[in-house]
Amino acid sequence: MNLETALVSFIVLTYGLRAFGMAAPKVVGRIEEWAEPLIAAVLASLVVSGGFAAGETLSIDARAVGLAIAAVATVLRAPLLVILLAATAGTAVARLFS
């Protein structure tokens, strides 16, 4: 696929989705109702598979420590940067001692 074809396809798809959204607000509302729980479920599955999976098996390692620290910082309503830094530092310290 060359650049012109990709650009034209992108433009047509963008305007088509925009027209669909303006023409069918009831359908879009129903999609949003279904999407919210799905987004949470997909995010939870990504966290579990990324945090506790080693190949095809489940394992608990230093990533679990970082995930627990991130959960605690989230409950304490820390800013996102603080959550990320705390989780990273916790994972690094756990890997240092394991």
Would you say residue 47 lies in a domain? yes
pLDDT tens per residue across span 44-77: 888 888 878 777 777 788 888 998 999 999 999 9
Pairwise CA distance, residues 21 & 62, whole Å = 44
Would you say residue 2 lies in a domain? no
pLDDT tens per residue across span 17-52: 888 777 777 766 777 778 888 888 888 888 888 878
Structural domain for 42, as ranges:
25-97
When computed from its CA atoms, the radius of gyration of the chain, rounded to whole angstroms, is 21
Token readout for 87 is 């989780």
* Total count of domains within the chain: 1
Would you say residue 45 lies in a domain? yes
Would you say residue 10 lies in a domain? no
Pairwise CA distance, residues 39 & 33, whole Å = 11
Would you say residue 12 lies in a domain? no
In this prediction the pTM is 0.56
Helix 62-75 vs helix 25-52: crossing angle, to nearest 10:
130
